[in-house]
């Protein structure tokens, strides 16, 4: 497979979209030591300091419909969770795709896509893993909400390259399984790692800005979150979910 490595980029997702538009094959990986303009969901900035994390994007050209693309994000979260398990770290996924430890973010995923009505041109799955960032390395405004694998690991650094290999292997295995038998096994694995299901949650809808609370009951076959509220079950396809303490 082709791996494009850069010391510094604006965003690996932006570079991945460029090379994908230029015809890069499925499976191409873009990885950088540092991002100056790391992008998060909902137009947020993603802190991506040099040498301390794994900031990467994978190009896929999946043979399914654009509606199915959000499930690729679930796949990426499960792959990172499986990688963590191989290093003895227990992962909890918050819907749809944040990996948290003690309610702070370890991993963020941003999926971008180019598609027509009848098919996907490419999907870029961008994953940022906070590996060897110490608490004092985080800017003040992130300290309450961000953490890292090394903090989780009792202050011991993790081997970044080995960890990255484990995650890419898990992604390959899961994606091959999806092409053979669909998303059901990925969804089942996602449910096992989920820390959202069964919890009381507060949802801010992305499309309508609507805010409501309820109990996260399950995900459906599209990966949408099903929330039971006093006025009935609501389906959340895109939104910001917080678990209520
Ligand atoms: C989020 O938590 O809001 C998503 C964060 C996604 C960050 C990754 S780092 C690699 C890739 N390149 C980017 O600019 N963003 C994603």
Going from the N-terminus, what domains does the chain have, and what CATH number goes with each?
Answer: 3-193 (3.30.930.10), 200-243 (2.30.30.100)
Tokens of 108: 């963020």
Which amino acids bring their CB within 6 angstroms of ligand 1? 11-13, 35, 38-41, 44, 46, 48, 55-57, 98, 108-110, 126-128
ipTM rounded to 2 decimals: 0.99
Query: 184-193 and 70-86 are packed helices; what angle lies between their axes, rounded to 10 degrees?
Result: 60
Tokens of 197: 């299901």
Those residues of the chain that have pLDDT short of 50 are none
User: Could you report the per-residue pLDDT of 115-154, keeping only the tens digit for each?
Assistant: 988 889 999 999 999 999 999 999 999 999 999 999 999 9
User: Could you report the per-residue pLDDT of 171-181, keeping only the tens digit for each?
Assistant: 999 999 999 99
Which mutation among 11, 28, 46 tests ligand 1's pocket best, with the greatest number of atoms within 8 A of CB?
A: 46
Which 8-state DSSP code applies to residue 24? P
Q: For position 245, what pLDDT does the model report?
A: 65
Which 8-state DSSP code applies to residue 60? E
């Amino acid at each position: 497979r082709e791996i494009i490595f850069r010391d510094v980029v604006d965003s690996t997702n932006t570079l991945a979209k460029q090379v994908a538009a230029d015809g890069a094959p499925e499976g191409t990986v873009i990885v950088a030591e540092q991002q100056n303009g790391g992008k998060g969901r909902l137009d947020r900035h993603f802190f991506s300091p040099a040498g301390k994390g794994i900031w990467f994007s994978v190009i896929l050209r999946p043979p399914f419909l654009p509606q199915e693309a959000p499930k690729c994000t679930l796949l990426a979260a499960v792959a990172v969770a499986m990688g963590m398990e191989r290093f003895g770290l227990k992962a909890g996924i918050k819907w749809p795709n944040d990996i948290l430890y003690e309610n702070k973010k370890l991993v963020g995923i941003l999926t971008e896509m180019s598609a027509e009505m009848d098919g996907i041109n490419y999907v870029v799955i961008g994953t940022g893993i906070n590996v060897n960032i110490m608490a004092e390395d985080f800017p003040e405004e992130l300290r309450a909400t961000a953490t890292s694998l090394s903090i989780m690991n009792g202050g011991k650094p993790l081997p970044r390259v080995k960890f990255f290999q484990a995650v890419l292997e898990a992604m390959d295995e899961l994606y091959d399984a999806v092409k053979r038998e669909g998303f059901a096994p990925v969804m089942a694995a996602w449910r096992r790692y989920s820390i959202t299901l069964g919890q009381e949650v507060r949802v801010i809808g992305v499309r309508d800005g609507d805010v409501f609370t309820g109990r996260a009951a399950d995900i459906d076959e599209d990966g949408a979150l099903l929330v039971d509220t006093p006025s009935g079950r609501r389906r959340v396809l895109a939104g910001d979910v917080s678990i209520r303490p």
